[in-house]
Each structure stands twice: as C-alpha cells, then as structure tokens.
Amino acid sequence: LPGGGAIEARFTVALPARGRSICGEWAAQIFSETLPSLVHEALLHESTDHSALMAHLCSVEDQQAARSQLAGRGLVAFVADGSVLPRATGASDRPMDAASAVPFSSPPSLRVTLPVPNAGSLTGMGLPRGVTLIVGGGFHGKSTLLEALQVGVYDKVSGDGREGVVTDRMAVRAEDGRAVTSVDISPFIDHLPFGKRTGAFTTADASGSTSQAASIIEALEGGASALLLDEDTSATNFMIRDARMQALVSADREPIRPFITRVRSLWSERGVSTVLVVGGSGDYFDVADTVLMLHEYSPSDATAAAKDVAARIAGGAPPESKADRGMPPTPRRVLSAPGLIAGMKTHTGRASIRFGDEPELDLGGVEQIVEHSQVRAIAEACLRLGGAARPIDEALAELEASIREGGLDVLRPGW
C-alpha cells in the first residue's frame, strides 16, 4: 500500500515459448486478457467478498495488537483458547479437520486476557518469560505447539486455526553440515583438539553441537530475546551430559559446556528466554521456571509437580554439571563480505541462495522461512550489506529502519 488508498501488486510472469521461439500470440493473450482478469478478481474491491475481507482485516489487526502487548505483559508467547494447532498433514499448512482436532484450552494458572480492537479481547495461555519446558509423552502435541509458536511472528489468514498464536521470537536447531564463519562459540565449546580455540570458529561442515552453538550465538547477535528449541532437532551432547558419561570422559577432556549450564544465565544476565520441548531429560526441571505438560494435545501446568520430582529424585547429571556458569558477553562481529556486490548474478531456491560462482547457502534449517519471496529478500539484503564493514547488530538495525521507511524498494529499487 504505497499511500493514497492505492494497492501496488508486484509479481513475475513466465512468458510462453517453444524452445528458442517466442509464442507471441499466447503472450499477448496473457497481457490483454489473463492478467487484467486476475487483477480485477484479486485487487478490486467490487470483486471481493466484502464481509470476508473485513473479517480478515479485523483478524490481522487483532493479531498485531496481541503481539504488541507481549513484552509489556512479561510474556514470550500467547495461544488463544480454541486455536487449532495441528495441521492436516506434515506436508500441509492447512488445519486439521475440526472433527479430529483438539481445540487448545489454556491451563487456568496461565490464562490471561489481552484486549484487542475488534474482537474486544482474546483469552488464552500466556507463556511467561524465563525458562519454559514443554513436556509430555511422544505424539501428544509438544512439537506441534512449538511449531505453532515459531510461526507466531506471522499474521494468519482467517480459518488457519492459529490466528490467536502470537510471538515475536525465533527458533534454533542443530544443523549438521552447515557452514560457520568466524563465530565465537566459546561460551558452549571452549576448545577443540590440538589446542584449537573457538573464539572465531570457522568451518564448512559443522557438527551437530558446533552448529547449534553457532546458531544460538548468531541469534543473540541478531538481538533475539527468546530461543525456541526442540529436543528432537538438538544435538544430544550439546543439551546435557549424564553422570556416567562424565565419569568416563572427564571435564578436562570434554570441550562442550552443555546448554543446561547456560540457560539460566541467558535469562538472568541477558534477558533471553528459552522455550524448550523436552521428552528425555528431567535434569532441566531444576532450571525451569514453567513446565507445561501436553497430554492428548491438552496442556496443563506441571511446574509444581516437576519441581517436586526434581526434589525427590536425583537427576542423571551430577549437580555440579548443571551449575550455571554464567553467560559471557557476545562479541560484536564485524560484517564483511567484500565478494558480494549489488547487482551480481543471484539464484534463489525454496531454501537456498547462490551468489555468482560462490558455494550455495542452504537455509533449510531456518525454521521460520515459509516462502520463496523471503529467500529472495534475504539474498538482496546480503548484497546490500555485503560491503558494510560494521558490527552485525548495527547493520541489521539500519537495514530494518530503511525498510520501515522506504519499503522493500530499498533492497532493489523497482523490484
């Protein structure tokens, strides 16, 4: 919406051809008949279902209003009662059939009400800031809830089922084989064999633990105020080490400082919350502020029960291995990619980018990328920032400010 009540739509059109020959008449038909018809049906108010359009606009306004209240209410996320979180299939973004899905209902102890401009108010579960565990049996909805939270940064269309799920956070996972460039992973992995230091760790093929350590540090560099992690997509040795393993492999021979030794200080010292799906390690009960139990997709507040279990039953890791080690400040990396030049040949896939003849960037592990257009925008942003020799947080803040003021045209004028 460039202003003045106008709508500006930008899209690409694949022009028809047979081999190296242009199909001129077919192309003319596209421009003179097909495109005008599509524009008329999609963009003109007279062609729309007015009540459905207004319902969509009201829904989006309410989602944005709810999201804007999270920080002030001390919440990391909100899930409205009645939300349908499961999807129809693992390959679909459509909601599960209402006859099969279990509507979400907040535990009474976590229920909050947020005022919104159109519906009046939304009532549901408010996840407080701090360290939150999502526990429960296998296939009872833990990862489904986390997946809904990680796309809570986006406004949903009416009928999605997750319109009342809002957050402004990010997801982090282990990603074997990813490239890492000059990232200080020493808070989690303080050395490598043969005396190699990790203050500026670089590799073209990271392991599960080094990739997850790098992803967390990169999230902190980008200004994340919360981390969303799933035990299923995390490196086991990065998350916890039990007593037997510590007895066999002594601390002086193990460079990894498990996440459990940093998660409290991430919150207490850095103000960074963590929401962690965990099904196999009760040691995290000791460091949690809130424990949410999922059973047949229905949540309950299990915080008191988890603390009672932690007090009665010794964990698999000795207390000293879970002692918080503090979270050192994250160094401010200077952004520098002189090989990236505005206008250079770029190819983007569904979750990949290739600049010229450089190695392909695989973005498949970035959970919150949901559309090819986002990948294209990331590629253009990389080209814009490539020659910027300044700290990453400053460069990103400047880019965001530019986009807020000038729209996506700042990435590529006329794009």
> Mind listing the pLDDT tens digit for each residue in 171-216?
788 888 889 989 999 999 988 888 889 999 999 999 999 999 999 9
C-alpha distances in angstroms, 93 versus 50, 227, 298, 369, 405? 25, 23, 21, 13, 32
**Would you place residue 323 in the very low, low, confident or very high pLDDT band (cuts 50, 70, 90)?**
low
Q: What percentage of residues in the chain have a pLDDT greater than 70?
A: 96
Q: What is the pLDDT of residue 334?
A: 81
Q: What is the pLDDT of residue 72?
A: 96
Give the Cα separation of 273 and 171 in Å (integer). Answer: 12
Lowest mean pLDDT, pick from 133-137, 296-300, 399-403: 399-403
Strand partners, 334: 391
Q: What is the pLDDT of residue 9?
A: 83
Q: What is the pLDDT of residue 294?
A: 97
Backbone dihedral angles phi then psi of residue 232, each to the nearest 5 degrees: -65, -30
**What average pLDDT does the chain have?**
90
Q: What is the pLDDT of residue 4?
A: 66
Greater confidence (305 vs 244) lies with 305
Q: What is the pLDDT of residues 284-322, one digit of tens each?
A: 999 999 999 999 999 999 999 999 999 998 876 666 556
C-alpha distances in angstroms, 142 versus 86, 230, 232, 254, 297? 11, 9, 11, 31, 8
Q: What is the pLDDT of residue 320?
A: 55
Q: Check whether 217 has a pLDDT greater than 90.
A: yes
Give the Cα separation of 82 and 102 in Å (integer). Answer: 9
Q: Check whether 169 has a pLDDT greater than 80.
A: no
Give the Cα separation of 159 and 197 in Å (integer). Answer: 51
User: How many Cβ atoms are within 10 Å of 126's Cβ, its own excluded?
Assistant: 20
Q: Check whether 98 has a pLDDT greater than 90.
A: no
Averaged pLDDT, 74-85: 97
- First-last CA distance in the chain: 15
Single pTM value for the model: 0.89
